[in-house]
C-alpha cells in the first residue's frame, strides 16, 4: 500500500484514509524518538519488579535515588518488562465531534491522537483495544498486541463517522464491567454533555485499577467564540437553532467554557485521572509530546 506524501499529511481529507492516519501517527512517534533518543514506550510499563545493585556500565538514570539517599548504596530499579498491559482507546463519535472551525474536525483530531497512541503502544508490544461510542451504538474491538493488526485498527478508526447525540456516560458505565484487569483507559471526547455523569463513571474504572486518561478535544472556536456579526448556530445534535450576536456575550461565553473545563479537570484530578485539554488549533504531535514528557517525568 503506497503511503501518501507530506502534502497529504496536511490535507484533512487524506486523514480519512487509514494509510494517512497510520503515516501521521508514525511520523509523530518517530519525531518524538528523534528528539528524545529513546522510546517513550517505557513510560507505559507500570509494573515494578525489583532492585539490583549497580555495576559499572549501567545507565545511571535508572539509579534509585531514594535508596541512595537513605542507605548511601547504589541500586537500580528494574521493571516487569515481559508483562504486557492493555490500553483501551475509547473514542466519542457523537454528532458534536463533527464540528471543526479549521481543516480538522474534532473527530479527525481525536482519530489522529488515537491512531498515534495505538501505533506507539503496539510498537512496544503492548495490547490495544478500541471502542467507538456514538449515538446508542457501542463498537468494541477486541484487544490485540500484534503490530500487524495496526492497519486494521486504523481502517476502523478512519471509517468512524460522527452522528447523533452524545451518551458517553452511559457507554462508559456499560463498558467498565468488561475490563478484567488493570489497564489504561484513554477517553477521547469533547465531553459536551453532563460532565457530572461522566465523572461519576470514573470511580468505577479507578476502583478496577485502571489508569484513566481524559483527552478533552475542543475546537479553538468553541473555546474562544471568535465570530463577528450575527450568527445562526445550528445544533449538531438536534438542538434548536440560536440566532445571536456573539460579540454581545463572548467574554461571558469564554468564562463559561473555562469554568466548565476547570471544573471538569478538577473532577478528573480528584479521581486521580490525567486530564489533557486538546485544542484542535494545536498540532496533535505537540499535545501528545507534552503529555508523554509529563508522564516520563512522573514515572522517572
Partner 1 sequence: MSFLFPAFLIGLAGLSLPVLIHFIRRKKLQIIPWAAHRFLIASIKRNKQRLQFEDLILLLLRCLLLALIVLAFARPFFKSDLKPGADAAAAGGDAAQVILLVDHSASMGWSDGVRTRFDEIRDLAETELGTLPGGASVAVIAYSDRVLPVIARPTRDLALVRRELARLHPVTRGSDLAPALRAALDLFDTLPRAPRRIIILGDRQKLAWQNREALDTQAKRATEGGVTVSFRAPAGDAPVNLAVTRLDADTADAVSGQPVRFFVEVLNGGTAPASQIRLTLSPDGDTPAAEKIISALAPGARAQAEFTLTFADAGYHAVTARVPSDSLAFDDTRTLALRVTAGVRVLLVEGGPPAGSRTRPGFFLAEALAPVPPARRPSFPIQVERIPAAEFSAARLTGIRAVVLAGVPPLSAETATALDRFVRNGGGLWVFPAAGDVVAGDPLAALLPADTGSATPQAAAATTPAGPPYAHPIAGLWDDPSNGTLSSVIIRRHLPLTLRPSAEAAEKPEVVVKLADGSPLLVARPLGRGRILQSAIPADTVWSNIPILPVFVPLVQRGLAWLQGGASAPGALAPDEALTMRVDPALLGREFRVLAPGRTGTPVPAGRVELVGGQPSVRFTATTEPGLYRIFNDAGDTPIAVFAVNPDSDESDLTPVDPVRITALTHEAPATPGVKPVASGSRLPAWLTRDIWRLLAGTALVLVLAELWLAQRFSRSK
Among 137, 161, 252, 262, interactor with partner 1 by CB under 8 A: 252
CA angle 288, 290, 293 (to 5 degrees): 105
Nearer to partner 1, 20 or 96 (CB): 96
Instruction: Name the helix (H) or strand (E) containing 153.
Output: helix 150-159
Q: Which of residues 183-222 bind partner 1 (CB under 8 A)?
A: 190, 192, 218-219, 222
| 161 scored as a contact of partner 1 (CB under 8 A) | no
Alpha carbons within 13 angstroms on the beta-carbon side of residue 255 total 4
| 239 scored as a contact of partner 1 (CB under 8 A) | yes
Pick from 144, 160, 70, 69: which is nearest to 106 by CA? 160
User: Considering the complex, what minimum distance in angstroms separates the CB of residue 200 from partner 1?
Assistant: 18
Nearer to partner 1, 53 or 229 (CB): 229
| 262 scored as a contact of partner 1 (CB under 8 A) | no
| 104 scored as a contact of partner 1 (CB under 8 A) | no
Give whole-number Cα distances, 58 to 50, 52, 62, 75, 77, in Å: 15, 11, 8, 10, 11
User: Considering the complex, what minimum distance in angstroms separates the CB of residue 229 from partner 1?
Assistant: 6
| 250 scored as a contact of partner 1 (CB under 8 A) | yes
Kindly give the pairing relationship between strand 138-144 and strand 127-133: antiparallel
Residue 164 DSSP SS3: coil
Nearer to partner 1, 232 or 297 (CB): 232
| 54 scored as a contact of partner 1 (CB under 8 A) | no
CA angle 119, 124, 128 (to 5 degrees): 55
Report the interface residues with partner 1, using CB under 8 A: 95-99, 106, 190, 192, 218-219, 222, 227, 229-237, 239, 242-244, 247-254, 256-257, 260
Amino acid at each position: 500500500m503506497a503511503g501518501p506524501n507530506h502534502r497529504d499529511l496536511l490535507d484533512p481529507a487524506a486523514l480519512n484514509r487509514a494509510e494517512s492516519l497510520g503515516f501521521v501517527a508514525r511520523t509523530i512517534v518517530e519525531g518524538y524518538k528523534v528528539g528524545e533518543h529513546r522510546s517513550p514506550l517505557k513510560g507505559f510499563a507500570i509494573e515494578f519488579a525489583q532492585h539490583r545493585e549497580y555495576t559499572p556500565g549501567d545507565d545511571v538514570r535508572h539509579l534509585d535515588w531514594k535508596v541512595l539517599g537513605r542507605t548511601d548504596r547504589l541500586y537500580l530499579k528494574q521493571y516487569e518488562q515481559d508483562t504486557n498491559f492493555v490500553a483501551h482507546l475509547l473514542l466519542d463519535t457523537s454528532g458534536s465531534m463533527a464540528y471543526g472551525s479549521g481543516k480538522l474536525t474534532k473527530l479527525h483530531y481525536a482519530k489522529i491522537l488515537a491512531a498515534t497512541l495505538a501505533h506507539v503502544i503496539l510498537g512496544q508490544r503492548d495490547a490495544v483495544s478500541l471502542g467507538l461510542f456514538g449515538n446508542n451504538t457501542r463498537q468494541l474491538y477486541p484487544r490485540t498486541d500484534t503490530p500487524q493488526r495496526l492497519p486494521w485498527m486504523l481502517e476502523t478508526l478512519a471509517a468512524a463517522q460522527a452522528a447523533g447525540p452524545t451518551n458517553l456516560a452511559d457507554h462508559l458505565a456499560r463498558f467498565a464491567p468488561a475490563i478484567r484487569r488493570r489497564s489504561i483507559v484513554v477517553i477521547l471526547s469533547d465531553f459536551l454533555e453532563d460532565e457530572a455523569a461522566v465523572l461519576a463513571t470514573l470511580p468505577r474504572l479507578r476502583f478496577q485499577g485502571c489508569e484513566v486518561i481524559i483527552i478533552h478535544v475542543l475546537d479553538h472556536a468553541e473555546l474562544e467564540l471568535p465570530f463577528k456579526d450575527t450568527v445562526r448556530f445550528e445544533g449538531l445534535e438536534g438542538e434548536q437553532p440560536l440566532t445571536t450576536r456573539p460579540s454581545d456575550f463572548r467574554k461571558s461565553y469564554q468564562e463559561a467554557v473555562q469554568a466548565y473545563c476547570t471544573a471538569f479537570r478538577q473532577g478528573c484530578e480528584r479521581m486521580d485521572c490525567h486530564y489533557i485539554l486538546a485544542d484542535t488549533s494545536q498540532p496533535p504531535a505537540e499535545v501528545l509530546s507534552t503529555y508523554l514528557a509529563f508522564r516520563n517525568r512522573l514515572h522517572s
